[in-house]
Each structure stands twice: as C-alpha cells, then as structure tokens.
C-alpha cells in the first residue's frame, strides 16, 4: 500500500488529524460552521477556519459521537450479528462454506464507494478578492512553507510569468516578495474551493490551491516550481516548448524512445548523459539497466502537454542514491547534457515526473492534482504516473527536456521512510497503469475510473477519490473545460502504427559517473572535454549522408557514429528503406531533394552533405567558420575548370551537358548571375565531384531558389553543385580553412590498404567505403587516432 502506516493503524498523510491522544480525543469535538460534529480521527479534513472547542462533559460528547457515527455503529453491529449467524451456519453446514461467506461480507464492507460525478450543474466561481481583476496566461506556482527564498525571488524575474506563492500553516505572516502573489491561509479559505476540505495545513500539497487560482485567472500554461530551485538564465521559453501552435511553435520533430517489448518504464537521465543516476520514483529493479537507449523514433510536435525538465546540481534523485553516492566533499553535483535533444515517451512507456520542475499546458491541467493520502516524497511521483497514463486518452504525451533549473545540495540526508512505499510499489504501479483500460466515454469519467481503481489497488487512499471528484468540479467552476478523447488503439505499439518513424539517430553521451565519490581518470576527462567541444560545434548541424544502393547494415553504424555529434543524420539512397529510415533520391540529382530536408530543420545552424565513402575527420574542422560556405574548390584534383569548346570522351564534355550548363546560367536571376560571373567567364564551366560540402543557415534560401533551375534541365550533380555555389557567393568569401586539406586516395592506395595512407591530420579522406563489418572496424580504428573515445566502440 502507498498509504502511510503509523503504529499499525492507517494514517492518511495530509488528512489534517492532529496528534491527539486517546484521552484527549474524548474531550474534544470538531465544530464546523453549520454545527456539524466530526470525529477527530476522521480522514476528511475541515478547512482551517474550523475551531476546536472543549465539551463540558463526556456524556454530551458521547451523544454527539453516536449521532455523527451512527452509520459506522450500524455497520459494526451488522458485522457482529453476521458473525453470530455464521457461527450457527458453521455448526450446521460446515466451516469452509461459512468462512467463504464471511470473506465475501468483509470484502463488500471494505469496498470504496464509486463517486457520483455530476457535472451538469456546476456553477461558476467568481473571485471577489483583491486579485479579482488579475488575468494572465503564464503562471508559476510554488509553495511558500517558510520565509521567502532567493530562488522564489529569482522566479519573479522570469519575464512574462506571474508567480503565485501558496502558504502553509507555519508560513510567516509577513511573508512578502515583490512581484509575487501571496495566498495566505485566510486568502485560500476565502476562495472557497472544494479541495480545501482535503488538504493538510503545512505541506506543498497546498499547491492544489495555487493551480486552481492560476486557472481561474487566465492560465494557459502552468510551471510547477520548487522554492529551492533556480531557472537557468531566468528564461523558461529558451528551455521548454511554450507554444504548441502558431508561428512560435516548434516545427522540428521530437525524438522519441521507441516502444520496446516488455519495457514499460525508462530512465531519461541516461538519454542526457548520466547512466549511473536514476530519478526518484524509478523502479529499483531496473537501476542496473544502464545500457543507453540508442533506439529512437520521432514524433510530430504539438501534443507535448506535460514537459518535465531536469535539474543540474542536485537532480530529483531518491534517498538511496543520495545517501550512497555522495562525493568526497559531502554534496551531490550532477550535470546533464544541455545539448541533448528533448525526448518524448510513447504510449505504453512511462518515466518519473515530479512537482518541482514541470510545465503543464492547459489540456493537461486536470493532471496537476496532488494526492493527499501519500507521503510527500510519493505524492507527486504517483501523480506524474497517473497523469501520464491518462494523457494518452487525449493523444497527448510527456516530453523530458535538458536541464532547465539548478538546485544546490544542502547536505541534509534524504529520508528513506518517506519513500519506502514508493520503492515497494513503483514497478507494480507502472505495470498496472500500462495495462489499464477504461470503457468510459469522457475524460472526466476515465479520470474517476482510474482514480477509484488505483484506490482499490492500494496505490493511494479513499480520500484521494473524494479529492479527485472535488478537484474536477473545482476545475469546471473556475472556467476550465475538459478536452475530447482521442479514439486511438492503445494496444497497437507506436512503431507498428508508424513504421516510417523507426531508427532515428542519437547516441547519448556518457558523462563522468557519480559512484561513491570515485572520480574518472585524467585521460577520460580530456576525451570528455574534446567530445564536448566537438558536440558544441556540430550539435546544431544536420548531416546528410548519401549512400549507394543496395544498402548494408553499416548505414546504421555510420548514423550512430556521427549521431553523437550532429543534431540529426539524414540518409539518402536510390530507393526508400523505411526500416532503416532511408529516403529515396535520384543519385545523379540528389541535390534536388535537399531543400525539402533543409526545410524540416529550420533551427539548424547549417547542413553538411557527404557521400558515404568520405571519412570525415571532424576533429580537424571544429575551428572552421560555420557562417560561410565550405566546398572542395581548393582541391585541384576535384575542382576542374573546363572550356566549353574542349573535346574528349569525358561525360561532362557531351553536347547535352554543356548546353544544360549554359541554359542554367542564362536562367539565373540577375543577382545570382552577377555573382557567378565574378568567378566564371562565359567560355568556361566547372565540374566537381562535390563529395562533401557545407551550407550554412543564411544560404539555405539562396540554395532553395537555385536548385529548381538546375533540376529543370536535369543537370548532373557534379555540374549543378559548383554552379549553384558560385552563384550564391564569390569563392573568395568561402571559408578558406574548411576542406583545404583533403586526402584523395589513389586507386592503388584504395586497393592495397587505405588504412596505411590514412592520417588523422587531414580534414577528410576519400574514397574509403565500409563495404563490410571488417572494413567498418578498420575505418573506426583508424579514426580513433584522432578521436580516442572511438576506441571504446571497437573494444
């Protein structure tokens, strides 16, 4: 059970019960505004304005207690009489049947009532307080359980966001932070929300009030924050996807874990470079599975309704990790890969989600509700799993983002007791949620169905069923409307439904591990620094790899190898191969599909286009100018100027090819033709194999404008590409460093042994194709002279 136990008796955390002895309990009653008497041990919490008054005599208390608990007394008497009847039955009919009957009666009595969610007559709730006129669309909700912190003050500096701080019973009365709305206990009571009756007095679970307040005052996005974390750069827009539609919305696909058999939960920390760290709420049975999830697909953006951010410094880890893996100075200091792309979780796969650094869009506002019958360290994690499962019903998803906050380790040990039930039940909870199905026809009905079933399964208490019912009613009363269900088949794996999404490239980096204070060696640190530098340079560039047909499986190896550095790796060949994620292109006119590829990645710094037989020594190019064009114009053996009147048997000297070049030049818009003629006169043209080149972002529109002119006459790529490059820019303005040092293998070197001729000091070496596993091994082994981290791949 995830319900906290005290002295062998259930004690719902957050039920508001004070520490009352048996003797004291006989002398007090709970007096509400309508003179309703209440058992002090009741699991229903009264609002903070309820007063405790002493009775003058035990007799009056007993009478009031009997009236209040008449139903319970009747049930006890019924059980007692049933037991007597069963004793008689046992004597007359045999013990076994009687015991079965008793078991059935007990089960019926213990069943949790299914709530009646009637939403037809929910009246609107109007805030008549001092913030009645306040309305904005982006809110930060934080609990203020003590004096103002520097982190809360910093939250008010996040431009475009309104902070609302929710007080607890022990919050100082003079709490004040400029720019933040402070909801005192009295302010909260005045709001009149139904959920008030269920909330503990001094807990971050009172953020439930803040969520409703923000929604009532115009929220379209809510950032669930922690009072001890600082937003990196005071900028949430730079980290999360705040816009799901419109001009500012993300256009690029989101990387997504592939659905794998028997995998229901993932550790997203591995994706962001920390394979030895696991998040709070991750099933401990899977901690030892640290192999990177190198198998990804992609998903279109627009449905990332829940966005979980990571925290550098002290991430959201559990007490087992914290208390066993602290470094020698006594503090945890973990850093994640800030350049790793966000990663989505497909339907059927879950990950821990907390209440410290999470962004909710309006379609998922129902998922903000924090349960009250769990320990504080379990409540938000169970909420996160619950919300992730339900969000599938509306076609939504959770996406995990690179570090968005920094949290300093205070050195205070984390309590295992606050998490013990979570450790014991997290795997069962995940497996239950993935298998759960509901026949209900609306989202609210499905929410109630799952909440009730989870209570019956012991994942949280009966009071959370009542809380959920009141929460949904409160949502409607403050103006929120439930989204429609999406009629998708959750039993069909995502990858099976979309086979074209398979095998997208990304190789998680492996940061220095945090394990009992042991530090990595100097050599590894140097390799890590180099990899950081290369990743920083190439991390927002897209590689387009042209592979000859038929393909072999080494294509995936190249994709994974270069995927460590580049934002994306796109593979082209003569035919489509969806299973390998390969796109078809005309081999001699492959340039014609490039504009469409460029359009798919509007935020990329630039695009490297390369044939598979080119071995790119990327470590040598990390100082090139990414804002300038790169090509092979400095390599005389590759870049050749040809006279139109020349004769010979070379293919490019045919009359048709020469005429097509002239036609293309004559059709160039005047500004491009002028630039072209700065380099090339009317009597000559250029032929170049163009095995590798680079187009920066600022030239993408020019390239897209020129490609159709060459494609119209079906100009060969070795004629079209140099023409287009000279029309875009004068050769003198190309980067003079990039590809200035190229090794073109002779036919003898290629046949004898390319590894002998290879050297890591060149910018690129070609042609050297990985025609087999053995040749691929030899290429990577040769490249490891320039990038020692590749040695780990071939060991």
Q: What is the pLDDT of residues 473-486, one digit of tens each?
A: 999 999 999 999 98
Residue 328: the pLDDT is 57
* Average pLDDT for 705-710: 95
Non-local CB neighbours of 645 within 8 Å, separated by 6+ positions: 683
pLDDT band at 266 (very low <50, low <70, confident <90, very high): very high
Among the residue ranges 125-139, 204-218, 505-519, 571-585, the one predicted with the least confidence is 505-519
What digits encode the pLDDT tens for the residues 774-788?
778 788 888 888 888
Residue 217: the pLDDT is 97
Query: Does the pLDDT at position 349 exceed 90?
Result: yes
Residues 206, 208, 209: CA angle, nearest 5 degrees: 80
Among the residue ranges 26-30, 61-65, 525-529, 680-684, the one predicted with the least confidence is 26-30
* Average pLDDT for 728-749: 90
Q: How far apart are CA 748 and CA 331, in angstroms?
A: 59
* Average pLDDT for 264-275: 91
Q: What is the DSSP letter of 206?
A: G
Residue 172: the pLDDT is 95
More confidently predicted of 329 and 7: 329
- Range 699-704, long-range pairs (CB < 8 A, 24+ positions): 699/629, 699/728, 699/729, 700/595, 700/598, 700/607, 702/672, 702/727, 702/728, 703/594, 703/595, 703/598, 703/728, 704/595, 704/598, 704/599
Residue 44: the pLDDT is 35
Contact (Cβ atoms closer than 8 angstroms) between residue 356 and residue 229 = yes
Among the residue ranges 399-408, 584-593, 643-652, the one predicted with the least confidence is 584-593
* Average pLDDT for 43-53: 37
Query: Does the pLDDT at position 16 exceed 70?
Result: no
Residue 14: the pLDDT is 37
Q: Are strands 180-183 and 254-257 parallel, antiparallel or unpaired?
A: unpaired
* Average pLDDT for 746-766: 85
* Average pLDDT for 188-213: 96
Q: What is the DSSP letter of 76?
A: H
* Average pLDDT for 212-231: 96
Non-local CB neighbours of 721 within 8 Å, separated by 6+ positions: 591, 631, 688, 690, 693
* Average pLDDT for 217-228: 96
Residue 85: the pLDDT is 44
Q: Which residue has the tokens 């039993």?
A: 491
Q: Which residue has the tokens 């080494």?
A: 554
* Average pLDDT for 539-556: 77
* Average pLDDT for 628-636: 89
pLDDT band at 24 (very low <50, low <70, confident <90, very high): very low
Q: How far apart are CA 444 and CA 96, in angstroms?
A: 43
Residue 140: the pLDDT is 98
Residue 498: the pLDDT is 52
Residue 580: the pLDDT is 60
Q: How far apart are CA 703 and CA 727, in angstroms?
A: 9
Where would I find the H helices in 539-669? 554-563, 594-600, 655-666
What is the number of other CB atoms lying within 10 angstroms of the CB of residue 287? Answer: 15
Encoded tokens for 293: 């999830």
Q: Global pTM?
A: 0.59
* Average pLDDT for 753-760: 85
Distances (CA, A) of 481 to 88, 553, 615, 784: 56, 50, 56, 57
Residue 783: the pLDDT is 87
DSSP string across 400-432: EEEEEEEE----PPPPSTTTHHHHHHHHHHHHH
Three-state secondary structure call for residue 585: coil
pLDDT band at 493 (very low <50, low <70, confident <90, very high): low
Among the residue ranges 46-60, 163-177, 287-301, 392-406, the one predicted with the least confidence is 46-60
Instruction: Tell the CATH topology of 535-782.
Output: Spore Coat Polysaccharide Biosynthesis Protein SpsA; Chain A (3.90.550)
Sign of CA dihedral 337, 338, 342, 345: positive
Query: Does the pLDDT at position 106 exceed 70?
Result: no
Phi and psi at 461, nearest 5°, equal -95, 170
What digits encode the pLDDT tens for the residues 370-401?
999 999 999 999 999 999 999 999 999 999 99
% the chain with pLDDT above 70 = 78
DSSP string across 361-381: EGGGGGGGPPPSSS-HHHHHH
Contact (Cβ atoms closer than 8 angstroms) between residue 40 and residue 20 = yes
**Domain spans of the chain, in order of start:** 5-68, 72-110, 535-782
Residue 676: the pLDDT is 95
* Average pLDDT for 50-70: 42
Encoded tokens for 467: 């809380």
Q: Which residue has the tokens 């003590």?
A: 146
Peptide bond into 550 cis (omega under 30): yes
Sign of CA dihedral 47, 52, 55, 61: positive
Q: Which residue has the tokens 């039930």?
A: 421
3 state SS for 467-491 = HHHHHHHHHHHCCCCCCCCCCCCCC
Q: What is the DSSP letter of 602?
A: T
Strands laid side by side in the 541-546 sheet: 582-584, 568-573, 541-546, 606-611, 692-696
E strand residue ranges, 526-652: 541-546, 568-573, 582-584, 606-611, 615-616, 639-643
Average pLDDT of the chain, as a whole number: 81
% the chain with pLDDT above 90 = 52
């Amino acid at each position: 059970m995830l319900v906290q136990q005290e002295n062998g008796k259930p004690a719902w955390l957050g039920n508001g019960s004070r520490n009352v002895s048996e003797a004291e309990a006989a002398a007090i009653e709970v007096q509400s505004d309508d003179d309703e008497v209440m058992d002090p041990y009741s699991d229903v919490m009264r609002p903070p304005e309820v007063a405790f008054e002493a009775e003058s005599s035990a007799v009056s208390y007993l009478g009031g207690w009997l009236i209040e608990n008449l139903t319970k007394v009747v049930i006890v008497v019924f059980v007692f009489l049933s037991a007597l009847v069963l004793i008689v039955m046992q004597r007359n009919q045999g013990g076994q049947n009687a015991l079965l009957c008793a078991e059935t009666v007990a089960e019926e009595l213990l069943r949790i009532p299914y709530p009646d969610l009637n939403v037809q007559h929910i009246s609107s709730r109007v805030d008549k307080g001092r913030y009645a006129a306040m309305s904005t669309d982006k809110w930060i909700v934080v609990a203020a359980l003590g004096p103002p912190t520097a982190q809360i003050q910093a939250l008010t500096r996040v431009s475009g966001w309104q902070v609302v701080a929710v007080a607890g019973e022990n919050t100082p009365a003079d709490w004040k932070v400029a720019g933040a709305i402070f909801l005192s206990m009295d302010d909260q009571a005045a709001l009149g929300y139904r959920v008030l009756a269920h909330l503990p007095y001094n807990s971050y679970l009172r953020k439930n009030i803040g969520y409703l307040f923000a929604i009532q005052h115009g929220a379209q996005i809510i950032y669930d924050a922690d009072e001890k974390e600082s937003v990196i750069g005071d900028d949430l827009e730079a980290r999360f996807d705040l816009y799901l539609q419109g001009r500012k919305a993300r256009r690029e696909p989101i990387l997504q874990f592939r659905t794998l058999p028997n995998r229901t939960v993932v550790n997203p920390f591995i994706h962001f470079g920390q394979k030895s760290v696991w998040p709070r709420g991750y099933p401990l049975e899977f901690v030892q599975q640290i192999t990177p999830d190198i198998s990804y697909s992609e998903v279109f953006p627009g449905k990332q309704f829940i966005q979980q951010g990571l925290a550098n410094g002290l991430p959201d880890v559990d007490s087992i990790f914290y208390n066993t893996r602290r470094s020698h100075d006594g503090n945890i200091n973990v850093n994640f890969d800030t350049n790793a792309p966000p990663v989505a979780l497909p339907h059927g796969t879950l990950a821990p989600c907390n209440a410290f650094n999470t962004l909710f869009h309006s379609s998922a506002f129902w998922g903000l509700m924090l349960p009250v019958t769990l320990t504080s360290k379990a409540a938000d994690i169970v909420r996160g799993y619950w919300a992730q499962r339900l969000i599938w019903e509306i076609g939504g998803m959770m996406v995990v983002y690179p570090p968005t906050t920094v949290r300093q380790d205070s050195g205070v040990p984390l309590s295992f007791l606050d998490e013990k039930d979570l450790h014991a039940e997290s795997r069962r909870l995940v497996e239950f949620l993935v298998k759960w199905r509901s026949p209900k026809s609306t989202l609210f009905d499905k929410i109630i169905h799952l909440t009730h079933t989870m209570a019956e399964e012991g994942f949280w208490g009966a009071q959370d069923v009542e809380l959920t019912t009141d929460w949904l009613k409160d949502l409607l009363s403050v103006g929120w409307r439930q989204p429609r269900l999406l009629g998708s088949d959750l039993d069909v794996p995502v990858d099976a439904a979309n086979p074209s999404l398979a095998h997208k490239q990304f190789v998680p980096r492996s940061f220095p591990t945090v394990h009992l204070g042991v530090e990595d060696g100097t050599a590894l640190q140097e390799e890590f620094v180099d990899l950081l530098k290369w990743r920083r340079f190439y991390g927002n560039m897209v590689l387009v790899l042209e592979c000859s047909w038929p393909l072999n499986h080494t294509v995936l190896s190249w994709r994974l190898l270069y995927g460590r550095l580049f934002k994306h790796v796109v593979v082209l060949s003569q035919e489509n191969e969806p299973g390998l994620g390969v796109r078809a292109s005309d081999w001699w006119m492959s340039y014609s599909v490039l504009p469409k590829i460029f359009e798919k990645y509007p935020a990329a710094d630039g695009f490297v286009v390369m044939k598979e037989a080119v071995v790119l020594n990327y470590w040598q190019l990390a100082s090139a100018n990414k804002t300038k064009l790169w090509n092979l114009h400095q390599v005389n053996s590759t870049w050749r100027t040809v006279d139109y009147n020349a004769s010979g048997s070379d293919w490019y000297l045919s009359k048709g090819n020469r005429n097509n070049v002239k036609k293309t030049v004559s059709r160039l818009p005047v500004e491009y033709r002028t630039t072209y003629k700065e380099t090339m006169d009317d009597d000559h043209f250029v032929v170049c194999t163009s095995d590798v080149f680079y187009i920066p972002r600022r030239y993408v529109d020019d390239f897209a404008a020129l490609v159709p002119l060459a494609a119209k006459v079906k100009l060969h790529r070795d004629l079209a590409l140099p023409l287009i490059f000279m029309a875009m820019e004068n050769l003198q303005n190309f980067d003079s460093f990039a590809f200035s040092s190229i090794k073109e293998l002779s036919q003898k070197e290629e046949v004898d042994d390319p590894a002998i001729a290879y050297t890591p000091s060149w910018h690129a070496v070609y042609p050297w194709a990985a025609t087999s596993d053995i040749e691929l091994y030899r290429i990577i082994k040769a490249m490891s002279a320039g990038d020692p981290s590749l040695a780990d791949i071939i060991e």
